[in-house]
């Protein structure tokens, strides 16, 4: 896509979300709405934010349940026509395949591998001893085998996974412009670095949404690419 930046709109306020999207729309390639907003307002709130917008919608709900339940959730979300929809790769092959089989043809279903808020020590404490890079690669292979479009991974894993899956869609959070606060993200890169590594979609939230002028921040990031 011409602009890989998807702005992560993490707010429970519909009016604020609409205003933010309107302000940054000329400078981003899409809009990501996630759990906080969806739990506050549901599908109607998503539709309200996207009303009148031509930008693609990234619906980041990280679905993770038994295959039948995930398939039902994907079916229920179809009226929103998301361009990208997330599930958790750890749900297993049957769940991943059910999500892909149920999604609309125009929806890219991508699986979350290892959250960017986790590092190797966090994974070890959860019973995954071989680190983020190995776990992301393992889950990427599972996801590809289930027929999904791609994965969500940190910028530190994307190059190795892309070497095995050249036509996958790699959605990359943990992207911070130089000098930005990493916040709760532990595995980060700058937008240009992540794009060079192989990212297809750059998910950027607080460096844009918390800036004094979100439109200017979004424009500066786009210009840096």
Catalytic residue among 32, 62, 162, 196: 62
Contacts for 13 with CB less than 8 Å, ≥ 6 apart: none
CA distance 114 to 88: 9
For tokens 């790699």, what's the residue?
170
> Is 62 assigned a catalytic role?
yes
- 123 near 100, Cβ under 8 Å? no
Let me know: does 173 contact 155? Beta carbons within 8 Å.
no
* The CA-based dihedral angle spanning residues 18, 23, 27, 30, taken in that order and rounded to the nearest 10 degrees: 0
- The span from the CA of 77 to the CA of 3, in Å, is 25
Helix (H) or strand (E) holding 61: strand 57-63
Q: What is the SS3 assignment for 3-22?
A: CCEEEECCCCCHHHHHHHHH
CB atoms within 10 A of CB 80: 18
The residues assigned a catalytic role are: 62
């Amino acid at each position: 896509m011409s602009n890989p930046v998807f702005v992560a709109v993490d707010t429970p306020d519909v009016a604020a979300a609409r205003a933010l999207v309107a302000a940054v729309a000329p400078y981003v390639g899409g809009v990501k709405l996630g759990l906080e907003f969806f739990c506050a307002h549901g599908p109607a709130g998503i539709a309200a934010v996207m009303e009148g917008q031509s930008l693609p919608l990234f619906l980041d709900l990280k679905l993770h349940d038994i295959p039948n339940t995930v398939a039902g959730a994907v079916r229920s979300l179809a009226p929103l026509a998301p361009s990208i929809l997330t599930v958790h790769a750890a749900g297993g092959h049957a769940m991943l395949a059910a999500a892909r089989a149920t999604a609309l043809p125009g929806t890219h279903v991508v699986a979350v591998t290892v959250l960017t808020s986790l590092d190797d020590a966090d994974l070890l404490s959860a019973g995954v001893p071989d680190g983020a890079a190995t776990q992301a690669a393992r889950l990427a292979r599972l996801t590809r085998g289930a027929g999904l479009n791609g994965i969500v991974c940190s910028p530190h894993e994307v190059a190795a996974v892309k070497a095995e899956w050249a036509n996958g869609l790699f959605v990359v959070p943990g992207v911070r412009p130089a000098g930005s606060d990493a916040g709760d993200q532990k595995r980060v890169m700058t937008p240009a670095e992540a794009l060079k590594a192989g990212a297809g979609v750059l998910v950027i939230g607080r460096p844009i949404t918390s800036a004094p002028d979100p439109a200017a921040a979004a424009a500066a990031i786009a210009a840096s690419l």
